[in-house]
A = this chain, B = another copy of it.
Amino acid sequence: MSQTRTVNRQITLASRPVGAPTASDFKMLETAVSAPAEGQVLLRNLYLSLDPYMRGRMSDAPSYAAPVGIGEVMGAGTVARVETSRHPDYRVGDLVLAYGGWQDFTLSDGSGVSRLGADMARPSLALGVLGMPGFTAYMGLLDIGQPKAGDTVVVAAASGAVGSVVGQIAKLKGCRIVGIAGGAEKCRYVIDELGFDDCIDHRAGDFPARLAAACADGIDVYFENVGGAVFDAVLPLLNPKARIPVCGLVANYNDTALPPGPDRLGLLARTLLTRRIKMQGFIIFDDYGDRYGEFLAVMADWVRDGKIKYREDIVDGLENAPQAFIGLLEGRNFGKLVVRIATSDTPA
């Protein structure tokens, strides 16, 4: 089924996952499209961003954002067109970036909505390299990671939306960049297309030893987006004065309990102390929202000049969002995962 003008398909949270989410944790509803009240716009969502952080919002454990309620529409960044406007700042046909959620249509009072240039050749990039993931890579690496020429920088999920940008920016700054990815095909892409110095397949055997061999001079910046076994392999390789920006821990998102011991909390603290390491978590728009314009100006130039490459993994159809999201947590996507909701710009 594809997008129409009259039905609002909505994917809601049916139940809180225990461990990895399954299809039954989501439920699609069909509701009538609402008309905007005075001061509102009706947005028709064209592209939907799927990102690992959404797993956290499916849980009600304390996290960095309020959870999605049971029966509520799953949240997500979207690229949308203004379908009807009773808001002075928006006109019908405007292309915007919004937090429209997993649905065809969204009513908005304009908060959190920003206009995209009508000339934007590829609007979906506002969800990837020019959007939240690219911004996360840019600020985390440059502001917290503080890479210097000659540093060894390591990032996991290296073919993904964040990791691919981290590595390419580090390369522009004169660093040696070692990626980590799942499978030989992704590793080839990371080295051959993105220009990383090396890429280690974490699914092949003896991952810690191969990572150590690729980081013969130790690790100066580890951009943390996965946690788990990757962090365990990174920890002994960290150099004095290393920096660890932490933007995600996808390996742990499905955990239902703490792993068995021994307890290494004190070991981590001791490593930070004896090697004088900085480890810092950040939430991109909360911590750096006022620098988005700076990022966008720089990154748009880099993308236009071919200095930063990107890869999108586009899934067609809102109804396929749950399976695509489940696959994202397993690393089955290859590039920035985006759902194309509207296969035509003029729906039935």
Contacts and interface: CB of A to CB of B under 8 A. Distances in A.
Interface of A: 56, 62-64, 224, 227-228, 231, 246-249, 252, 255, 257-270, 272-283, 286-287
Contact of A260 (B63, B263, B269): B263
A238 B195 CA distance: 40
Contact of A278 (B259, B274, B280): B280
A258 B255 contact: no
Contact of A265 (B63, B246, B264, B283): B264
B62 A274 contact: yes
A22 to B, nearest CB: 23
Given A249-B273, A273-B249, A260 B262 contact: yes
Chain copies in the assembled complex: 2
A220 B39 CA distance: 39
Contacts of A227: 266, 269-270
9 contacts: A62-B274, A224-B269, A258-B262, A263-B263, A265-B267, A265-B268, A268-B268, A272-B280, A276-B287
A155 to B, nearest CB: 16
B264 A64 contact: no
Nearest to A259: B263
Contact of A266 (B255, B276, B279): B255
Contact of A275 (B64, B248, B267, B279): B64
B249 A258 contact: no
B249 A270 contact: yes
A242 to B, nearest CB: 10
Contacts of A261: 258-263
Contacts of A282: 276
Given A272-B246, A281-B275, A264 B262 contact: no
Nearest to A225: B273
A89 B249 CA distance: 56
Top 9 nearest A-B pairs by Cβ distance? A261-B261, A258-B262, A273-B281, A264-B265, A272-B281, A278-B280, A64-B274, A246-B273, A259-B263
